[in-house]
Structure 1
Amino acid sequence: MNNLTLNIDNSIATLTFDLKNSKANKLSFELLAELDKVLDDIKENSEIKALVIDSAKPSIFIAGADIKEIEAMSTQEEIYEQISKGDDILNKLEKLTIPTIAYIHGACMGGGLELALCCNYRIATTNEKTKLAFPEVKLGFFPGLGGTQRAPKLVGLMTALEMILTGKNYDAKKALKIGLVNEIFDNGQKEFKLKEFITKVLENKIQNKKLSFVNNLMQKFSLTRAYVYKKSLETIEKKVNKDFKAPYTALDVIKKTFNEPFEKGIEIEAKAFSNLAASKESKYMIKLFFMFEKLNKNFDKTQVPITNVAVLGNGVMGKGIIWLFSKFLNEVRIKIRKIEQAHDIINSVAKLYDSSIKRRSMSQNQVDFKLNKISYTDEFNGLSQTQLAIEAIIEDEDAKKEAFEELEAVMDKDSIIATNTSSISIEKLGSELKNKKNFLGIHFFNPVNIMPLVEVIPSSHTSKKTINRVIELLTSCGKTPIIVGDCAGFIVNRILLPYINEAAFILEEGSDIKTIDKLLKEFGMPMGPFTLADTVGIDIGFKVATILNESYGSRMAVAPILTKVYNDLKLLGKKDKKGFYLHNTKDLDINTEVSKLLSSNRKTFTDKEIIERCMFIMINEASRCLEEGIVNDPQIIDFAMITGTGFPPYKGGICAYANDMGISYVVDELKKYEKSYGERFKPSLLLEKLNKENKDFKTGEELWKL
């Protein structure tokens, strides 16, 4: 056997998983075939009294199925055949007549947890890397090797639904509490604690945890189950677009199979899983998963990693950046104008830790320890020992340059100066610095504590060493950085602002705020363009739109309604409780002050035109980013738009969406809209080339790399 080792000691068999040439154990086809054979050997060996399943990997039990093998299968029939084989093998494990124990140290995910559920008992170590979860919903499907059948019986319907529909991680203590594992202890106690546990198992002294009163009701009464299914569906509908089928299908499978015989339930599960895993949506979600993995490894470890930073600016973005670095680094220094501001800033940063305390992922003592890393100064010379200083002040070129001059005067020649500008050219901002090789843009997205993406923007002078140190820093802080070329708006804002701007043009001509927002939310965006404008801040959006207009000319002219809303009505959005909507209650009401600015002579637009105008203008700008070499891979644009704006991941990103619509169709529609609405819809040269050569963003690589 290449990936499994079977040892028998004093009638106790230990089956150790160790997938060759891999840091993680995955249930590959090869490994499952080996498991099938070794289970036959175990079944025939009358000497064996108990079986322990273990892992040779230092911090992984089994990370799940081999996602690349699922990605490679294109048809429902092919997937169903393989899933059925996998089910037969895990059923064989479950039907062994000897006691079976899964010893879980490290990640136990997806198919790994499904394998563990086939054992009679489960032990989890208290190590922080020990996590149990069904994360499949994040890949566009759900547990397909019996998870929907075994989990509800073991932990109860409500708990199983939470596990399967959310992909939530459970540490050892939580897993013990819900009955997912039978015992927990430190891995250092393994030798004698495991032996002790096996003895109790052989003496029949270990019982599975009884279901809670509520979960017990679910098992017995169809009415209570119906209520839970109804509430679960309502929760999904609030959070998940109807086009993303995975959670809806998972709920339906559990509902249909809960009272069915296991054999029938497992077949229903396998067919539904196969249908989802073969879908375009799932393939896009898998690509996103692999892109995350690739980008998070896209750096070389440096000899001197950054361990302390300084932050200039204490607005929403500044506080988010302070929170991030206080969580992961040794020291964070705040440059403030007045010492009196410090207390309020640190209190605001502390509030960003509240969700960690509520989720119990951090204790109050741990949060206090993080906050104690924050120090402050009102003098620039108080930043002389800083390895990296990042400014997050107002979006004003002169103000930023003045800050950089002050920083460069006191900081070491090897220290890095960075800007969190969302739209101003890095080349411009660094033009007056003496040490240009250590200057670059680090553009976070709001809210910093949630959004994973960071755009890293070097100038023509930035050294590779500086870029690598920053990429390493951001990755170590749990962010996913992408390197993009220098231009106004970079990638995300350059593509996103035309979307908001076009929605404003549509509003001026016809339709209404709620209809436009509703349509684009139903398309899959996390919120409509006007809700987004209010959330980001109308002042910030208007400033960025103005900068883009100055940089790209009349094709990015600011919609007149945006100018009126900002300049005439002085509206700021959610932070001031008044923007396109009134933000005084949970139910957002339209701000009638905005409605009064609209003419009474209104056009009627089809849903199709509203969606296409907002989406196709983004496709056009994305193609220009490729055309200009701002990035050289449409998958990076797709990743940026998904992780930076919430573009629906199951649609693959803006370039993948264009491919699905058909480049020729996109170009034809852009030309039609150009005739009606002007040059902002004029197809880019790259789109024209792709159309002419019958290629798309997947096949036309040579056209944007000329």
Structure 2
Amino acid sequence: MTTATYQRRSDVAVLLLDNPPVNGLGDTVRKGLFEGITRAVADPAVRAVVLAGRGRGFSGGADVRQFNTPAANAEPMLHQVIAAIEESAKPVIAAIHGMALGGGLELALGCHYRVVTADATLGLPEVNLGLVPGGGGTQRLPRLIGVAAALDLIQHARTVNGAKAVALGLADAAFDGDPVDGGVEFARTVLDAPSHPVIGRRAPAAAEVDFAAARAAVSPRARNADAQRGAIDCVEHATELPLTDGLDRERAVFERLVGEPTSKALRHLFFAERKAAKAPGPGNRPVKSVAVIGAGTMGGGIAMAFANAGYPVTVFEREQAPLDRGLALIRRNYEITANKGKLSQDEITQRLARIKPTLEMPDVADADLVIEAVFEEMPIKKAVFQQLDAVCKPGAILATNTSRLDIDEIAAATSRPQDVIGLHFFSPANVMRLLEVVRGARTADEVIDTSMRIATDIGKIPVLVKVCEGFVGNRMLTGYWREAWFLLEEGASPQQIDRAMKDFGMAMGPLTMSDLVGLDINWAARKRLAPTRPKHLRYSAVPDRICEQGRFGQKTNAGFYRYEPGDRTPIPDPAVEEIIEQCAREAGIERREISTEEIVDRCVLALINEGARIVEEGIVQRASDVDVVYVQGYGFPAWRGGPMHHARTTGLDITLAKIKALHAAHGEFWTPAPLLERAVAEGRTSL
């Protein structure tokens, strides 16, 4: 089977990449290209060759699905295809539309000329997958556009549009319309040239950057730190070595990285996020306008997310003062972004103009999507939905931003439960990419599909989940925090626990996170669930006692830590240690030395065990959805791939053995998830 077709346009051969959805350069594509180049070179009637992509773009790069499989190293390799192009006396033109990314751009760099549409996207984003370009990108790009510009694009996975590519010298010309027509038209302008430029034959690029400084500037906590350093090394080689030697060094770095756990984890997430974002069906409801109920921090962030994507948004509040505060916060957030050089004043004006404030509930009547973002109490939310049911037009999607309440109970407050869905944004909603899309028992399929699609439209990564206490993220967080509180009583300090989890790779420790989120929010949930809590199970009073003293975290300058006004730096507080020691005494717990290993095991294994239960109960569609939630919403290190992938990397058998040991030591909370036990018994390597 070939996925690159050969055509003729008079005296110009056309090779079309045809491997949907993004013309990945898998083994069959490379084979078709190599055979096509060979055929065109041998045909005396052919005077030039045009490479173009069918469908959405030129090429999205290597077929990542083939990494770590025999197909990835099947000949001809990409470097052999490029060598055949460079050896051709006939001009070979890459006609780029849509995208030329990764290996797709490396293929284009191997061509004599590149022509682009102005809106095409070009780049070498391999570091996002924990890799470096493996097809010569780090060697040819510096020779073409200069070392500083090339290093910036490669190390930081930046992309440029076609117009910028022409300005950089990355492309030779721009065209409008069909890529084959554009490529053939350009080919006729160079047919009679005495020779054609070959990037690979240029002398090593002159060094323009301080490579040692560039390496030192890489954050050791970056998810792709090793790949960034590898990219810097490879670009430096381009300034020192002939092409052949530089290509060998680049390939060696690529082969080292592609086999390492970090890249495997990042590639796992790459596919997991794309699977999670797919709508389950074809249904759709048009959404042209949005309304947000509540102008608080969350409501304002949601309004910004939609306004940023071009949607007109009506923001409702009951009183003028909170409405004014909400609008002021929105404006301040935009100004902060502008001060960082990421927005112009014109763009701020345009986005603010899309946000219409109102004190009148009937003003949301014509919105296609209404999102409630009021206080997290069931009676308040039900009252809001009764109002929305009365004023909103038929067919409007009614969404709640609840983080853990029962969607079905909220929907029951309306006469149209089929139109009700949960859209759990994460704070700050205009920044955080995760969106839990919570389907109720009676939510219509087209409402689910529309919600999934609109999430991607506004730049979010949606994960479809079912109703349960806390959904996915907060349900798992319950066990994570539980173990942190138990460890406090048993002898660990807040800073010891947080340091252990940060060293593991979490964005912040569990207790710092509690202070950031607000201890009162989780306290309210604990009080709501208290009547159903099994009395025979251990319960830590530590967070309750802290809240009883009015310590709600950063918002009150005191929680598990204390904070100076206007400063989010957590400061250890002896008052908290006294609370912990008192709770331990009352519970009859003899405090002891706690190791870092025990802290990490208990906190992470709590996530894994609960995640396995969530998968088994069908709350998510697949185990990798849990990973997406925890990496994108809760700061789990991406380079570990998420809790479920981490269990796979550690070994499910080892993971289960540790959970069983904790069950023996600490009791019922650590009952192993049945799915995990079955997977190990069946010899499976993943859940």
Q: Shorter chain as normaliser: what TM range? A: 0.7 to 0.9
Q: Which position in structure 2 is the counterpart of 1:175?
A: 165
Instruction: Please give the secondary structure, in 2, of the residue aligned with 1:5.
Output: strand
Counting aligned pairs with the same residue, the percent is 28
Q: Which position in structure 1 is the counterpart of 2:14?
A: 15
CA distance in 1, matches of 2:452, 2:528: 27
Give the aligned residue type for 1:516.
I
CA distance in 2, matches of 1:561, 1:281: 36
Q: Deviations over 1:5-32 (max 9, x none)?
A: 34354x6x35342315x24322221221
Q: Which position in structure 2 is the counterpart of 1:435?
A: 416
**Distance change in 2, residues 1:86/1:481 (3 Å):** same
Contact 2:52 2:179 in 1 (8 A): no
Residue in structure 1 matching 2:145, options 155, 176, 180: 155
**Distance change in 2, residues 1:687/1:92 (3 Å):** closer
Give the aligned residue type for 1:26.
G
Q: Which position in structure 1 is the counterpart of 2:61?
A: 64
Q: Which position in structure 1 is the counterpart of 2:124?
A: 134
Q: Which position in structure 1 is the counterpart of 2:5?
A: 4
CA distance in 1, matches of 2:661, 2:285: 55
Instruction: Please give the secondary structure, in 2, of the residue aligned with 1:170.
Output: strand
Q: Tell me whether 378-387 or 47-56 shows the greater mean CA deviation.
A: 47-56
Give the aligned residue type for 1:91.
A
Instruction: Please give the secondary structure, in 2, of the residue aligned with 1:103.
Output: strand
Taking the TM superposition and a 5 Å limit, the aligned residue runs for 1:429-508 are 429-508=410-489
Contact 2:58 2:98 in 1 (8 A): yes
Taking the TM superposition and a 5 Å limit, the aligned residue runs for 1:609-624 are 609-624=598-613
Contact 1:308 1:329 in 2 (8 A): no
CA distance in 2, matches of 1:359, 1:555: 53
How far did 1:254 drift?
3.7
Contact 2:466 2:620 in 1 (8 A): yes
How far did 1:604 drift?
1.9
**2:53 maps to 1:55:** yes
CA distance in 2, matches of 1:314, 1:52: 54
Give the aligned residue type for 1:19.
D
Q: Tell me whether 609-618 or 60-69 shows the greater mean CA deviation.
A: 60-69
CA distance in 1, matches of 2:77, 2:250: 14
Q: Which position in structure 2 is the counterpart of 1:108?
A: 100
Taking the TM superposition and a 5 Å limit, the aligned residue runs for 1:298-377 are 298-302=279-283, 304-328=285-309, 330-353=311-334, 364-377=345-358
Q: Tell me whether 254-263 or 264-273 shows the greater mean CA deviation.
A: 254-263
**Distance change in 2, residues 1:193/1:153 (3 Å):** closer
CA distance in 1, matches of 2:663, 2:323: 52
Q: How many residues align?
A: 675
**Distance change in 2, residues 1:411/1:118 (3 Å):** same
How far did 1:410 drift?
1.7
Residue in structure 1 matching 2:134, options 139, 144, 150: 144
**2:686 maps to 1:698:** yes
Q: Tell me whether 316-325 or 426-435 shows the greater mean CA deviation.
A: 426-435
Contact 1:236 1:248 in 2 (8 A): no
**2:103 maps to 1:122:** no
Instruction: Please give the secondary structure, in 1, of the residue aligned with 2:160.
Output: coil
How far did 1:678 drift?
4.5
Q: Deviations over 1:584-606 (max 9, x none)?
A: 55865445553454449863222
Q: Which position in structure 2 is the counterpart of 1:230?
A: 213
CA distance in 2, matches of 1:190, 1:92: 21
CA distance in 1, matches of 2:569, 2:194: 57
Q: Which position in structure 2 is the counterpart of 1:594?
A: 576
Give the aligned residue type for 1:37.
E
How far did 1:107 drift?
0.7
Structure 2 gaps, min length 5: 583-589
CA distance in 1, matches of 2:570, 2:161: 38
Q: Which position in structure 1 is the counterpart of 2:597?
A: 608
How far did 1:654 drift?
1.6
CA distance in 1, matches of 2:239, 2:169: 19
How far did 1:90 drift?
0.9
**Distance change in 2, residues 1:425/1:553 (3 Å):** farther
Contact 2:294 2:316 in 1 (8 A): yes
TM-score by length of 1: 0.85
**2:629 maps to 1:647:** no
Contact 1:489 1:548 in 2 (8 A): no
Q: Which position in structure 1 is the counterpart of 2:227?
A: 246
Q: Which position in structure 1 is the counterpart of 2:585?
A: none
Q: Deviations over 1:202-226 (max 9, x none)?
A: 56899999xxxxxx9x9546xx75x
**2:654 maps to 1:665:** yes
Contact 1:229 1:255 in 2 (8 A): no
CA distance in 2, matches of 1:183, 1:515: 58
Residue in structure 1 matching 2:544, options 551, 563, 581: 563
Contact 2:492 2:593 in 1 (8 A): yes
CA distance in 2, matches of 1:183, 1:96: 21
Q: Deviations over 1:126-168 (max 9, x none)?
A: 12xx111112222232211111211222233333233222222
Q: Deviations over 1:388-434 (max 9, x none)?
A: 32211111111111211222222234333221111112233334333
CA distance in 1, matches of 2:675, 2:40: 61
Instruction: Please give the secondary structure, in 1, of the residue aligned with 2:466.
Output: coil
Q: Deviations over 1:60-96 (max 9, x none)?
A: 11111122222544xxxx75x4487321221221233
Residue in structure 2 matching 1:656, options 634, 645, 663: 645
CA distance in 2, matches of 1:137, 1:241: 6
Give the aligned residue type for 1:18.
L
**Distance change in 2, residues 1:3/1:231 (3 Å):** closer
How far did 1:360 drift?
7.6
Contact 2:293 2:371 in 1 (8 A): yes
CA distance in 2, matches of 1:587, 1:84: 55
CA distance in 1, matches of 2:16, 2:179: 20
Q: Which position in structure 2 is the counterpart of 1:32?
A: 30
CA distance in 2, matches of 1:400, 1:559: 30
**Distance change in 2, residues 1:190/1:268 (3 Å):** closer
CA distance in 2, matches of 1:280, 1:668: 22
Instruction: Please give the secondary structure, in 2, of the residue aligned with 1:389.
Output: strand
Instruction: Please give the secondary structure, in 2, of the residue aligned with 1:24.
Output: coil
Instruction: Please give the secondary structure, in 1, of the residue aligned with 2:402.
Output: coil
Give the aligned residue type for 1:633.
R
Instruction: Please give the secondary structure, in 1, of the residue aligned with 2:115.
Output: strand
Q: Which position in structure 1 is the counterpart of 2:587?
A: none
Instruction: Please give the secondary structure, in 2, of the residue aligned with 1:235.
Output: coil
CA distance in 2, matches of 1:185, 1:367: 32
**2:390 maps to 1:415:** no
CA distance in 2, matches of 1:8, 1:194: 8
CA distance in 2, matches of 1:157, 1:550: 65
Contact 1:549 1:556 in 2 (8 A): no
Q: Which position in structure 1 is the counterpart of 2:614?
A: 625
Q: Deviations over 1:413-456 (max 9, x none)?
A: 43332211111122333343332222222211223233332222
CA distance in 1, matches of 2:279, 2:506: 28
CA distance in 2, matches of 1:120, 1:360: 36
Structure 1 gaps, min length 5: 210-215, 700-706
Give the aligned residue type for 1:170.
V
Instruction: Please give the secondary structure, in 1, of the residue aligned with 2:459.
Output: coil
How far did 1:381 drift?
2.4
Q: Which position in structure 2 is the counterpart of 1:213?
A: none
Give the aligned residue type for 2:662.
Y
**Distance change in 2, residues 1:39/1:430 (3 Å):** closer
Contact 2:439 2:466 in 1 (8 A): yes
CA distance in 2, matches of 1:596, 1:161: 53
